[in-house]
A and B are shown apart, each in its own frame.
Chain A
């Protein structure tokens, strides 16, 4: 059974960089059929797709966040990561990692999410 698990700091200071990792178990991140994505949800609000990455390192980003984003994959550890720089309070959200198919970007497996608060 495929499982995804986010990890990272719960509290980050404004202007700093957020680093999150998603560990994948029960399946290989190197599967040719899948991309691996990040989605966030501010408290009490809707969902916002952030970025997606293929095992080869091919990535695509939400244009509104692209300038602050770096997404990477480590196939040896079966995990992928997100870095978001120049944080503000508006980046406070639950961050989810999830899987979608290569051609169809709907998310069929999700991690439980991790709350990140940006505050001094």
Chain B
């Protein structure tokens, strides 16, 4: 079974601080087929990053993705009030490899 483990479960930070979120895969993610989403309460997820490091259309440059192999990171350089949300990673590629991580909640400290 392919598993994506996100850590920490909750990140308590203040506006203006840097957020570093981790996503670790149980198997190598081929071609860096790793995406990140942001989800706010009562809303659908929004695509932030695909291909591990490519920002989706309209995503501010304070969001950046990095990593390869099994270890990936989403960094928010300076938290804005609207960035407090839950973040999910997703492995993609073939249908058998389409899975999501459990999420990291970024909350206001």
Q: Which residues of B contact A48 (CB under 8 A)?
A: 100
Q: Which of B20-28, B45-53, B73-81 contacts A (4 or more CB under 8 A)?
A: B45-53
Count of A-B contacts judged by CB separation below 8 Å: 51
- Are A106 and B50 closer than 8 Å at their CB atoms? yes
Which among B33, B56, B100 is the interface contact of A47 at CB below 8 angstroms?
Answer: B100
- Flag whether B92 is at the interface (Cβ < 8 A): yes
Docked CA distance A61–B96 (Å): 9
- Flag whether B106 is at the interface (Cβ < 8 A): no
Docked CA distance A62–B47 (Å): 21
- Flag whether A36 is at the interface (Cβ < 8 A): no
- Are A47 and B95 closer than 8 Å at their CB atoms? no
- Are B44 and A110 closer than 8 Å at their CB atoms? yes
Docked CA distance A110–B56 (Å): 14
* Chain A: interface size category: 20 to 34
Kindly report which residue of chain B lies nearest to residue A35, judged by CB atoms. Answer: B95
Which among A62, A63, A105 is the interface contact of B92 at CB below 8 angstroms?
Answer: A105
**CB contact list, A61-113 vs B, under 8 A:** 61-63, 96, 98, 100, 104-108, 110-113
- Flag whether B64 is at the interface (Cβ < 8 A): no
Kindly report which residue of chain A lies nearest to residue B47, judged by CB atoms. Answer: A108
22 A-B interface contacts by CB (under 8 A): A46-B100, A46-B103, A47-B45, A47-B90, A48-B100, A49-B99, A49-B100, A60-B95, A61-B95, A62-B98, A63-B96, A96-B44, A100-B92, A104-B33, A104-B50, A104-B93, A105-B92, A105-B93, A106-B47, A107-B35, A107-B90, A110-B44
With A106-B47, A106-B50, A106-B90 given, can you name 15 additional A-B contacts, CB distance below 8 Å? A46-B101, A46-B102, A47-B88, A49-B98, A49-B100, A60-B95, A62-B98, A96-B45, A105-B92, A106-B35, A106-B92, A107-B35, A107-B90, A111-B44, A112-B43
